[in-house]
Amino acid sequence: MTPPHRQIHLAAHFPGVNNTTVWADPRAGSQIDFSSFEHLARTAERGKFDFFFLAEGLRLREHKGRIHDLDVVGRPESLTVLSALSAVTERLGLAATVNTTFNEPYELARRLATLDHLSGGRAAWNVVTTNDAFTGANFRRGGFLDRADRYRRAEEFVRLSRTLWDSWEPDAVVADPERGVFVRPGAIREFRHEGPQFTVAGHFTVPRSPQGHPVIIQAGDSDEGREFAAANADVIFTRHGTLAEGKAFYADVKSRLARYGRRPHELKIMPGVTFVIGDTDAEAAELAAEIRRQQVSPQTAIAFLEQIWGRDLSGYDPDGPLPDIEPDLSTEVAEGRVRHHDRAAVAERWRAVAREKGLSIRELVIEMTGRQSFVGSPQTVAKSMAEFVAAGAADGFILVPHLIPGGLDDFVDRVVPLLQELGAFRAEYTGTTLRDHLGIAVPAGKEAA
Amino acid sequence: MTTGHLHLAVALDGAGWHPAAWREAGAHARELFTARYWAKLAGEAERGLLDFVTIEDAFRLQSTLPDDVDDRTDQVRGRLDAVLLAASLAPRTRHIGLVPTATTTHTEPFHVAMGIATLDHVSRGRAGWRVQVSPRASEAAHFGRRAIPRLDPEFRDRALLAELFEEAADAVEVARRLWDSWEDDAEIRDVATGRFIDRDKLHYIDFSGRWFSVKGPAITPRPPQGRPIVAVLDHGGTAVPYELPARAADIVFVTPQDREDAARIVERVRAVPRDGEPLKIFADLLVFVGPDAAERKARLDELDGAELVSDAAIVAGTADELADLLLDWREAGIEGFRLRPGAVPADLKGIARGLTAALRRRGAFRHAYESATLRGLLGLPRPASRYATAPGRLP
């Protein structure tokens, strides 16, 4: 008798504005036309996914002081496009990435509550803490927040948002025309909050939404990020690593929940993963290699190298060897993306790998900057995913297709049925809200301040 | 003699503009916070071939008091965010313009501009923005970043209002620069050079103002309309009446009380200097439409316990009577009307079915939508990006 599989949770990440999104393929569609978002969301819903996920970038990335032109550029305002998607989907969760540094709690909390109402209880918020002055140049707040303050602000922001969401009692709206009572007396409570980041008071304008609180997602692997997630989040979106790394991360994060009075199932751990499906494992491996070549064009390879070397390397042949010159550690050539912490060490490691394997610049960048997570026949992919979850390395996955908008089709058509056969994934949605899909309870009314 | 068809918009707010409207049979007030409710209203307006709907919003709970919440429980309280509500209506409609209210006083111009641009994308060119300022201390307290004096209805703080309007004009300027910051042909997908965009067609906007500075470019590609429609409601209460709409808007909603008042307002609006397309002047009216309109209004007044008051003129009458009045005011220079239905769905249907039929009988309203975009419906051309340079001409 096979032991029962843990249920896998799945999310679909709309392909991002980075090099993993292949735009030169004839099947690659618009990154901004609504039909692309609709296609991917409907596909995810057909596949019974838990939610659809949109990332955020509040300033266009730059390279060597100029707007980066090699990757897909241009994205919608997330909550606005998710509100439109709420009209063309019925069960799929809708997750927006919104940062706490360049927003205000009252306004954002009402927008998230609105999306929850419009979607009948499917809203989620991926809380991020973008902090750099580069992004701040687009906002009133501007400037820079120290790393620790980022999380302090985020924590206070989330706590205050929950206070706002709870300030209308459940069932406050009676709407009884005979008695002339629209809202139950006393059911809209004044909120008041004083803290280092926010001092606000008044009345919220959106009734309590179907989920009570939108689902909170936290993206990040750092110690501060893990602690923030353990205290505040319903889902943590992590980097995908090896099985051993996944198990270690899972055990560590789940062990932190008790200190906040929470139980392990109350926080889902979902790594971001890529996938390549072929008729056979060998065919999938070939396809994966081809996709990697599409993701790292000759120009992109040079750009990646420039980020590590801190120099203009446009004179180098991407099919030639690594440059002999030393990295310039005092210069950052990239803005608006995650930075490498120790470029000297990265450069040394890249040199060693290039030497050992005899790789060109392009081949090296392909090797070192990305790895598909699940590659194989549908059977292989389904089995690998189920095993990863069964082993206690994740609760599910956030899938990142490489093609807009059809990149998820193959997975939904060919892998999801196998996961269902394995008993590892739902055959139907059993509830209507995202909390239903994730198995997370609706929060009780007023939270203790 | 003015010719051509009138422009008609409807202002959606809750169950209607009468505070007791939610109590009418057919109001379905329990559904006020669902997408289905609003989709029905937008569908009705679109079947009526109206130019656009506006959606009310504010950073405060509805109240009968000027700045504080009251303790009334017999009126609608609560709203959804108007921009997101409009976005949820976009896939459910095909032709009608969607013009949500968004405040400039406490918001980030960048976020608002990207939200409206995205609304234009998801509606394929039907977005507008009703710009609103927030002159209340209670709204400022929700953000805790700015001190605004308590609103005193007896003392009009013209200086504060002028300041808020100036900030609003800056926010609109930022939005338009951001919308223009991607030229129309910025996306090139050039496989040979590996470039997705021509970076020379993406522009920093470098706005520097008293309240905020914004670098740009937009993160959202240029909207289908180029620049979504900007609309402003103005009661003429600043030192230079109608300066904000003349400077910053495509449409101004004004609140004349009769035809002579309308003519005076049109004259004052036209007197303010302006670059570009002439400002479109729409009159706001709060309307009860139908053979039983006066009776319905009286019944609602009785339920609410007070005669209805409004900044807009209140009209209760048959569709033909209303049509005649609109055409009369058109002679005074009013180009369109934004009608506030007293009760929904009765007065929305009265507008979308009865009134439009009456106007068509008078040769004054369309038989079909003639454009896929809101700018097209309003007879406004799609503007080129201000940053685009003519071929062969040096920047």
Query: Which pLDDT does position B391 carry in this prediction?
Result: 56
Given a contact cutoff of 8 angstroms between Cβ atoms, the answer to whether A174 and A158 are in contact is: no
A143 touches chain B (CB under 8 A): no
Query: Which pLDDT does position A357 carry in this prediction?
Result: 96
**Rg of chain B, C-alpha, whole Å:** 21
Over residues B2-26, the mean pLDDT reads 92
pLDDT tens-digit profile of A237-246? 998 789 999 9
pLDDT tens-digit profile of A48-57? 999 999 999 9
pLDDT tens-digit profile of B259-281? 999 999 999 999 999 988 899 99
Provide the CATH topology of domain A9-274+371-438.
Answer: TIM Barrel (3.20.20)
Q: What is the mean pLDDT of chain B?
A: 95
Summarize chain B as % helix, strand, coil (round to 5).
35, 15, 50
B27: chain A residues, CB-CB within 8 Å: 177
- The distance between the two most distant Cα atoms of chain A, rounded to a whole number of Å, is 84
Contact B144 A200 (CB under 8 A): yes
Query: From A86, which residue of chain B is nearest by alpha-carbon distance?
Result: B88
Query: Which pLDDT does position A335 carry in this prediction?
Result: 84
B94 touches chain A (CB under 8 A): no
Query: Which pLDDT does position A258 carry in this prediction?
Result: 96
Query: Which pLDDT does position B157 carry in this prediction?
Result: 84
Q: Within the 32-71 window of chain B, which residues sit less than 8 Å (CB to CB) from chain A?
A: 32-35, 39, 58-61, 69, 71
Q: Nearest Cβ partner of B91 from A77, A84, A207? A: A84
If 0-12 CB within 10 Å is exposed, 13-18 middle and 19+ buried, where does residue B243 land? buried
pLDDT tens-digit profile of B100-119? 999 999 999 999 999 999 99
Chain B contact probe: residue of A80, A156, A167, A199 with most B CBs at under 10 A: A80
Beta strands in A274-427 (DSSP E): 275-277, 334-335, 374-376, 396-399
Terminal-to-terminal C-alpha distance of chain A:
49
Over residues A400-420, the mean pLDDT reads 97
Query: Which pLDDT does position B395 carry in this prediction?
Result: 45
- Residues making up the binding site of B: 57, 101
A29 touches chain B (CB under 8 A): no
Query: Which pLDDT does position B67 carry in this prediction?
Result: 93
Task: Give the C-alpha distances (Å, rounded to integers) separating B89 from A300, B31, B126, B369.
Answer: 40, 15, 11, 18
CATH classification for the domain delimited by B7-149+219-377, as one of 3.40.605.10, 1.10.357.10, 3.20.20.30, 3.20.20.140: 3.20.20.30
pLDDT at residue A146 tops 90: no
Q: Please give the Cα distance from A372 to A291 (Å, whole number).
A: 9
Query: Which pLDDT does position A5 carry in this prediction?
Result: 55
Given a contact cutoff of 8 angstroms between Cβ atoms, the answer to whether A138 and A58 are in contact is: yes
Query: Which pLDDT does position A446 carry in this prediction?
Result: 59
Q: Nearest Cβ partner of B23 from A102, A120, A180? A: A180
Q: Where are the domains of chain A?
A: 9-274+371-438, 285-369
pLDDT tens-digit profile of A348-388? 999 999 999 999 999 999 999 877 789 999 999 999 999 99
Query: Which pLDDT does position A340 carry in this prediction?
Result: 74
B121: chain A residues, CB-CB within 8 Å: 32-34, 76, 81
Over residues B227-245, the mean pLDDT reads 91
Over residues B127-131, the mean pLDDT reads 98
Enumerate helices (H) and strands (E) in chain A, giving the number of each: 15, 17
Query: From B72, which residue of chain A is nearest by alpha-carbon distance?
Result: A185
Share of chain A above pLDDT 90, in %: 86
Q: Please give the Cα distance from B390 to A283 (Å, whole number).
A: 50
B193: chain A residues, CB-CB within 8 Å: 299
Query: From A109, which residue of chain B is nearest by alpha-carbon distance?
Result: B81
Q: Closest Cα partner for B87 from A61, A98, A278, A34? A: A34
Query: Which pLDDT does position A372 carry in this prediction?
Result: 78
Share of chain B above pLDDT 90, in %: 90
Contact A182 B110 (CB under 8 A): no
Q: Where are the domains of chain B?
A: 7-149+219-377
Q: Please give the Cα distance from A118 to B90 (Å, whole number).
A: 13
Q: Closest Cα partner for A79 from B85, B35, B61? A: B85
Return the sign of the alpha-carbon dihedral for residues A346, A348, A351, A357: negative
Q: How far is B269 from chain A (nearest CA, A)?
A: 32
pLDDT tens-digit profile of A152-191? 999 999 999 999 999 999 999 999 999 999 999 999 999 9
pLDDT at residue A334 tops 90: no
B20: chain A residues, CB-CB within 8 Å: 180
Q: Please give the Cα distance from A211 to B79 (Å, whole number).
A: 17
Q: Please give the Cα distance from A437 to A211 (Å, whole number).
A: 12
Q: Please give the Cα distance from B253 to B268 (Å, whole number).
A: 13
pLDDT band with cut points at 50, 70 and 90 for residue B232: very high
Q: Which two tokens stand for residue B102?
A: 């968004």
Contact B23 A188 (CB under 8 A): no
Q: Please give the Cα distance from B174 to B112 (Å, whole number).
A: 10
Query: Which pLDDT does position B3 carry in this prediction?
Result: 56
Over residues B18-43, the mean pLDDT reads 96
Over residues B248-257, the mean pLDDT reads 97
Over residues A113-128, the mean pLDDT reads 97
Query: Which pLDDT does position A333 carry in this prediction?
Result: 87
pLDDT tens-digit profile of B308-318? 999 999 999 99
Q: Identify the three-state secondary structure at position B122.
A: helix
ipTM of the complex: 0.97
Given a contact cutoff of 8 angstroms between Cβ atoms, the answer to whether A9 and A389 are in contact is: no
Nearest 5 degrees, angle CA A137-CA B105-CA B67? Answer: 155
Number of neighbours of residue A286 by Cβ within 10 angstroms: 14
pLDDT tens-digit profile of B279-293? 999 999 999 999 999
- List Cβ neighbours of A201 (8 Å cut-off, separation of 6 or more): A190, A191, A192, A193, B141, B142, B144
Q: Please give the Cα distance from A298 to A319 (Å, whole number).
A: 8
Query: Which pLDDT does position B301 carry in this prediction?
Result: 98
Distance of CA A186 to the CA centre of its chain: 39
Q: Nearest Cβ partner of B78 from A81, A199, A207? A: A207
Over residues A130-135, the mean pLDDT reads 84
